[in-house]
Amino acid sequence: MPDLLQAAASCIAASDPVEKLRLTHAAAAAFRAGELAVPDDAPAPAVIGAPGRPERPRLVLPREVPQRGLGSVEGRAAFLHAIAHIEFNAINLAWDAVYRFRGMPQAYYQDWVGVADDEARHFAMLSARLGELGFAYGDFDAHNGLWEMAEKTADSGLRRMALVPRVLEARGLDVTPGMIARLRSNGDPASAAILEVILAEEVAHVAAGTRWYHWHCERAGLSPGREFIRLVRETVRGGMRGPFNRPARLAAGFEEDEIRSLETME
């Protein structure tokens, strides 16, 4: 019987989106049922590499991804495609958090298996909506920024928890309310409703990142707030741009001092 780490590696390696979703949901269900154990004597994880992905979308630099307005069906499809690509990457990121960081408490694996399951469902919702608009995942170019951050943090659970959930994913908490409003104002309440579901569940995902970031900081004798701001200054070129969704960030475990530091960062 495969263990949880083997199942996570299989989910990451799957290149076909339908198969990645199938494996993800099956592994999450098996783990919840107690059918996938976390081995105590697992060998070191493999060196991080590119996850499985389909031939399309074509990956380009972020500045080369065209910006389209939401006033046309194609523009809204391109926008939803960009969100779907984030969710597809988020499946891989959650499974890599399970696979790469060994010897963590059982609750850690419960959190990140649950996140992977959620992200797969989000991707399915967005893919279905793209189909209703006459498009499919892969029809527009995308970039690889999320996975590049996974590569940069592969050697440190503390850095991974700080910089993926609390920087990249938390950015979604800031910008999604405006996206929802824009979709509604452009006559697309169906797409807006999907983003409302995603926004509510992403708060819990960022909160999981906060929980395990604090866990690492406690064991390293670090002040979570100070260390987070130090890592942002060190890693995020140009800092993080506001405005910040203070209620959502507070619900996800950010402290007021952290948010104020981000707002005044130069």
Residue 67 has pLDDT above 70, yes or no: yes
- Tell me what pLDDT residue 242 has: 81
Percent of the chain with pLDDT over 90: 83
Report yes or no on 140 lying in a domain.
yes
Report yes or no on 76 lying in a domain.
yes
Residue 249 has pLDDT above 80, yes or no: yes
Between CA 35 and CA 18 the distance in angstroms is: 23
Between CA 112 and CA 92 the distance in angstroms is: 11
Residue 64 has pLDDT above 80, yes or no: no
User: 237 or 30: whose pLDDT is higher?
Assistant: 30
Average pLDDT, the chain: 93
Number of domains present in the structure of the chain: 1
Q: Quick: pLDDT tens for 110-137.
A: 999 999 999 999 999 999 999 999 999 9
User: In which band, very low, low, confident or very high, does the pLDDT at 26 lie, cut at 50, 70 and 90?
Assistant: very high
Report yes or no on 253 lying in a domain.
yes
Element (H, E) at 159: helix 157-163
Range name among 52-61, 64-73, 89-98 with the lowest pLDDT average: 64-73
Report yes or no on 11 lying in a domain.
yes
User: 198 or 264: whose pLDDT is higher?
Assistant: 198
Report yes or no on 61 lying in a domain.
no
Neighbours of 241 (CB within 10 A): 13
Residue 8 has pLDDT above 60, yes or no: yes
User: In which band, very low, low, confident or very high, does the pLDDT at 1 lie, cut at 50, 70 and 90?
Assistant: low
Give the CA angle between residues 251, 82, 17 to the nearest 5°: 100
Q: Quick: pLDDT tens for 202-212.
A: 999 999 999 99
For range 10-31, the mean pLDDT:
97
Report yes or no on 167 lying in a domain.
yes
Neighbours of 68 (CB within 10 A): 16
Give the CA angle between residues 186, 82, 112 to the nearest 5°: 120
Report yes or no on 62 lying in a domain.
no
Q: Name the residue range of residue 243's domain.
A: 4-53+67-264
User: In which band, very low, low, confident or very high, does the pLDDT at 265 lie, cut at 50, 70 and 90?
Assistant: confident
The residues with which 142 forms a beta bridge, in sequence order, are 59
Assign residue 162 the CATH number of its domain.
1.20.1260
For range 58-63, the mean pLDDT:
79
- Tell me what pLDDT residue 217 has: 98
Q: Quick: pLDDT tens for 30-54.
A: 999 999 999 988 889 999 989 999 9
Q: Quick: pLDDT tens for 78-112.
A: 999 999 999 999 999 999 999 999 999 999 999 99
The secondary structure of residue 70, as a DSSP letter, is: T
Report yes or no on 143 lying in a domain.
yes
Which SS3 state, helix, strand or coil, does residue 59 take?
A: strand
- Tell me what pLDDT residue 266 has: 64
Instruction: Give me the residue label for tokens 């527009």.
Output: 140
For range 132-143, the mean pLDDT:
93
